[in-house]
A and B are shown apart, each in its own frame.
Chain A
Amino acid sequence: MFEQIKTLMDTQLDIDLNLAAFDENTPLFEGGLAMDSIVFTEFILLLEKAFEFEYDDDELTVENFETLAVIIERIQKKTLQ
């Protein structure tokens, strides 16, 4: 799933990914990818479309989007339900 998300981000988001230094633990915001507000919303919509699920309102918290590892874990839980 990590590779799939990485490809999605690289091809569909307006973001400068340093692919060599980018892994599951790279922060999405400060000290990492520094996603701006528009790119972040696009990222969420992209994930929902690609993996056919929808985030609940109470899941949209900073803690749930710190790194791709955290995001992947939640997507796996949601898509298994």
Chain B
Amino acid sequence: MPKSALPIPLRFNAASTATISDDNHTLSYSEFNQCISEYHNTLAEMTLTERKLTETVLVSIEQSVHYLALMLACFGQKKGFIFFASTGKIPDRLSACDRICLDQDNNISLVTHKQIDTQVDNSVSPSADQSLAMSGKLGFLSSGSVGDPKVILHQAPSLIANSQNARYLLPLSDEDKVLIPVPISHMYGFGAAALTSLCSGASLQLTLGLNLLKWRKIENTCHPSCVFFTPSLLDAISAKISYQHTLKFIVTAGDCVNTRYLRTWADKTQYWLNLYGSTELGVIGIASLLHDDLLNEATEKIEFTPCNNVHVYCQDEQLHIVHPHAFVGYLNQCVLLSPFKTGDLGHVESNGRFSVNGRADFSVNREGRLLAFAQLEMELKKHASVENVVLVPGPKDSKGKTLIACCEGVSEEQLITLKQTWRRHLPAYAVPSELKIVDPLPRLANGKLNRKKLEEVITHV
């Protein structure tokens, strides 16, 4: 098992029966280690050939054991590697980088940017000076809801240490079979799910396009003991759950997990663990959801326990994190950002545990008051019968920016009375000036609100 001084190429140890599988292949740990080693050597040779790779290399990622091995083979190389989903769009600023993928025989194939796409603007690629800093770094694209993704750079030892840190809080062992339907091209699927499971010596099953039918098949044939879900995958499975097979634990991530399924899963799994983290910091904290207070609706507050040596504190009501295994910076901006300002509103208890109350960076200034959308949305929901309310900034008036409330799960008739209800309970400056029904609210695949799409949608409502 890799420790702080990384054995390069990486090697993982496991019980002799543990395997790493995808929808088409199954490898033993020994075969998997061999695969990493071969890819590692190929990449090292590619950097030495006359046809030099660019200092930053894009790695197109698919949900397979060979691609997982390829990602791990990028650890400890002299180039910088940035992972992105093969189905995703390459950010314009990376279009001048060489790109690698695997061919039909799972051999590394080099495709330069000129061969992929001659139409893209190459003028914003990493400059020579900046690319010097890329050596040994590994990049992930952010999955934020606004704008182009950021490229978030990590040092290889930090990624391993981050996963080791998460292991202390996840009840994983080499006897577990871990199902990973979340994409390994993202930090959650790679760092929290795959790498943590590999460090534990567990069996892994990577899968793509999980839906109810595929889930039932995998449940009956592979008998997973642990599953990493996105909120939307969990929703898809939860509506028709079968209790024939029980699990040790399921994992979700983010502050938008749907707790209406708590009772459904209470008889299906021993633990439901919710991770709080980011692409920049990996896993920050963990919350166990199947406990009496949440099940009995005595509280809606989810409390996270920080990972080992992770310090969480509140400043201006926002969560700040000091993480020993944080990222090193964003592409073209390699400076250490510590403490890391999450942009999440939250609260830290005296025992170090913390809760998250939504995003802080969506706000307007009205009548001299900073109105944080996350806080105000909670207030609006508290005082009215509406499934979901999301605020977006409207046009300016004499008091500042106005607010538009986008409502989900409310009828036309109810909408008329909503404003009156809010007026009774909230100060005038906090009452949205315009109300619109947007049902359903647009969401990203990971279940987060798609704010960019919402702003497009409401212009037509």
Contacts and interface: CB of A to CB of B under 8 A. Distances in A.
Report whether chain A binds chain B: yes
B239 A60 contact: no
A73 interface: no
Contacts of A60: 212-213, 216, 240
B458 interface: no
Interface residues of B, number: 19
A41 B211 contact: yes
B232 A37 contact: yes
B210 interface: yes
B212 A44 contact: yes
Given A61-B216, A62-B217, A37 B240 contact: no
A14 interface: yes
A10 interface: no
Q: How large is the interface on A (under 10, 10 to 19, 20 to 34, 35 or more residues)?
A: 10 to 19
Contact of A37 (B210, B216, B440): B210
A40 B232 CA distance: 12
A40 B210 CA distance: 11
A52 interface: no
B242 A57 contact: yes
Nearest to B239: A41
A32 to B, nearest CB: 14
A80 interface: no
Contacts of A29: 209
22 contacts: A14-B440, A36-B445, A37-B209, A37-B212, A37-B233, A37-B236, A38-B235, A38-B236, A40-B211, A41-B235, A41-B236, A41-B237, A41-B240, A44-B212, A45-B240, A55-B240, A57-B244, A60-B212, A60-B213, A61-B217, A62-B213, A62-B217
Interface of A: 14, 29, 35-38, 40-41, 44-45, 55, 57, 60-62, 65
